[in-house]
């Protein structure tokens, strides 16, 4: 009698042979299948672990990005605009954007004394050059009252070449000519030249021109010339401030007025209402009538010297007028 395997159909002569067959073949196959199933499970587990790590990294990256964005946004919200120094001396940001507490003060905060050894006076009569009347009565000048040569400059407080003319450091940094200090030393301090400044704002300097006239009206000649000198020493910084924040520029001007003991209420009203706009316009029209087309333009007893010229262009003209 034969025995048949119920799993594979193979026949055996005895029941013992069938059992041996089943034990060796089918049980071993089951173990291998179990091993393969376990390997599949391990592989699936590894794949799942890799996916979980990837998802976790993604989530951590998103959270980190959000946190960094919040920090950057918060930091940008703390930045302040350029501000003028407060009149009460409090610890507020300086016009250059720094904190003055415990550090050096901004150059805009304090008025410097004029370094020239010159007299300051006020004109008493007008002059006429080439058929054009030049209004000098009541205008402030540097020099001696009885100086033989009258010189008038028509300039813009925001003109870089005008700044170079008055500020030798600025001129050296920007490869420009600077002649005013030499003119002062060699001709104004010696009593030969009387120098007047008038407004010719052709590149955006209307505001400081008006402010200068407010200094003159409410502070007199000395306040006027202090403003003129200090503004050219800080022209680049002041221009940026005026363009970015006109109100803060005006605040700086008020702080200067206080230091120069200018009558504050009158000065404040003058700049708030642009009270001197017509005066500035009259200066510009006068300059054009004389033939000025650019800044700076100077007239030495009516003889024109146009542009940012070196001292060597002024000296022979002045000497020639003195020799007449």
Q: Convert the chain into a string of H (helix), E (strand) and C (coil).
A: CCEECCCCCCEECCHHHHHHHHHHHHHHHHHHHHHHHHHHHHHHHHHHHHHHHHHHHHHHHHHHHHHHHHHHHHHHHHCCCCCCCCCCCCCCECCCCCECCCCCCCCCCCCCCCCCCCCEEECCCCEEECCEEECCCCCEEECCCCCCEEEEEEECCCCHHHHHHHCHHHHHHCCCCCCHHHHHHHHHCCCCEEEEEEECCCCCCHHHHHHHHHHHHHHHHHHHHHHHHHHHHCHHHHHHHHHHCHHHHHHHHHHHHHHCCCCHHHHHHHHHCCCCHHHHHHHHHHHHHHCCCCCCEEEECCEEEECCCCHHHHHHHHHHHHHC
* pLDDT at site 125: 96
Counted domains in the chain: 2
Domain assignment present for 246: yes
Q: Could you tell me the end-to-end alpha-carbon distance of the chain, in angstroms, rounded to an integer?
A: 156
Q: Is residue 98 part of a domain?
A: no
Q: Would you say residue 20 lies in a domain?
A: yes
Question: Which of 158, 261, 152 lies closest to 204 in space, CA to CA?
Answer: 158
pLDDT at 236: 94
The reported pLDDT for the residue numbered 15 is: 66
User: Is the domain of 19 the same as that of 162?
Assistant: no
Helix axes 264-272, 206-233, angle to 10 degrees: 130
Is residue 242 assigned to a domain?
A: yes
**How would you label 47-56 residue by residue, b for 16+ Cβ within 10 Å and e otherwise?**
eeeeeeeeee
What pLDDT does residue 63 have?
44
Residue 110: predicted pLDDT: 87
User: What per-residue confidence (pLDDT) applies to 118?
Assistant: 96
Model pLDDT, residue 50:
39
Q: What is the pLDDT of residue 226?
A: 98
Residues 272, 203 share a domain? yes
- 168 within a domain of the structure (yes/no): yes
pLDDT for position 19: 60
| Domain limit, last residue, from 45, 77, 109 | 77
Torsion of CA 27, 31, 32, 35, to 10 degrees: 170
Q: Are residues 157 and 261 in the same domain?
A: yes
One domain, residues 56 and 136: no
- Judge if 243 and 147 occupy the same domain: yes
Q: What's the pLDDT at 17?
A: 58
Give me the count of residues in the chain.
324
Tell me how many degrees the CA angle 222-139-127 measures, rounded to the nearest 5.
150
Domain that holds residue 195: 120-323
Backbone angles phi, psi at 203, to 5 degrees: -125, 30
Domain membership of residue 11 (yes or no) is yes
Each of the 324 residues of the chain gets a pLDDT tens digit; together they read 566 667 676 665 666 655 655 655 655 444 444 444 444 434 444 333 434 434 444 444 434 444 333 333 333 332 222 222 333 333 333 333 334 333 344 568 789 999 999 999 999 999 999 999 999 999 999 999 999 999 999 999 999 999 999 999 999 999 999 999 999 999 999 999 999 999 999 999 999 999 999 999 999 999 999 999 999 999 999 999 999 999 999 999 999 999 999 999 999 999 999 999 999 999 999 999 999 999 999 999 999 999 999 999 999 999 999 999
Q: Looking at the structure, do residues 58 and 181 belong to the same domain, yes or no?
A: no
Tell me if 219 sits within 8 A of 267, measured CB to CB. Answer: yes
Same domain, 195 and 266: yes
User: Which candidate, 106, 258, 253, 136, places its Cα nearest to that of 198?
Assistant: 136
Ramachandran bin of 97, using left for φ above 0, alpha for ψ from -120 to 50, beta for the remaining angles? left
CA distances from 202 to 1, 156, 223, 292, 313 (A): 127, 7, 24, 11, 23
Domain-located, residue 89 = no
- Whether 290 and 176 share a structural domain: yes
Q: How many CA atoms lie within 13 A of 283 on its CB side?
A: 27
Domain C-terminal end among 51, 77, 103 = 77
């Amino acid at each position: 009698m034969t025995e048949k395997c119920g799993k594979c159909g193979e026949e055996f002569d005895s029941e013992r042979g069938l059992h041996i067959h089943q034990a060796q073949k089918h049980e071993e196959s089951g173990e291998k299948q179990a091993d393969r199933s376990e390997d599949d499970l391990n592989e699936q587990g590894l794949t799942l672990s890799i996916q979980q790590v990837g998802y976790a990294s993604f989530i951590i990256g998103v959270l980190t990005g959000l946190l960094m964005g919040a920090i950057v946004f918060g930091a940008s919200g703390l930045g302040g605009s350029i501000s003028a120094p407060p009149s009460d001396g409090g610890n507020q940001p300086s016009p250059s954007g720094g904190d003055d507490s415990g550090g050096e003060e901004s150059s805009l905060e304090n008025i410097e004394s004029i370094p020239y050894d010159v007299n300051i006076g006020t004109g008493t009569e007008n002059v006429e050059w080439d058929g054009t009347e030049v209004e000098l009565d009541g205008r402030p000048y540097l020099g001696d009252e009885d100086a033989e040569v009258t010189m008038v400059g028509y300039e813009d407080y925001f003109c870089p070449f005008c700044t170079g003319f008055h500020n030798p450091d600025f001129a050296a940094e920007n490869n420009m000519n600077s002649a005013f200090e030499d003119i002062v030393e060699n001709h104004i301090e010696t009593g030969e030249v009387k120098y007047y400044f008038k407004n010719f704002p052709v590149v955006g300097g209307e505001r400081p021109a008006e402010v200068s006239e407010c200094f003159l009206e409410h502070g007199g000649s000395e306040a006027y010339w202090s403003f003129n000198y200090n503004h050219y020493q800080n022209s680049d910084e002041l221009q940026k401030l005026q363009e970015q924040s006109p109100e803060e520029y005006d605040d700086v001007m008020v702080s200067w007025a206080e230091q120069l003991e200018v009558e504050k209420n009158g000065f404040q009203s003058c700049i708030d209402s642009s009270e001197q706009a017509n005066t500035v316009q009259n200066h510009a029209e006068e300059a054009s009538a004389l033939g000025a087309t650019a800044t700076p333009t100077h007239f030495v007893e009516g003889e024109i010297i146009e542009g940012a010229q070196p001292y060597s262009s002024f000296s022979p003209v002045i000497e020639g007028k003195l020799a007449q």
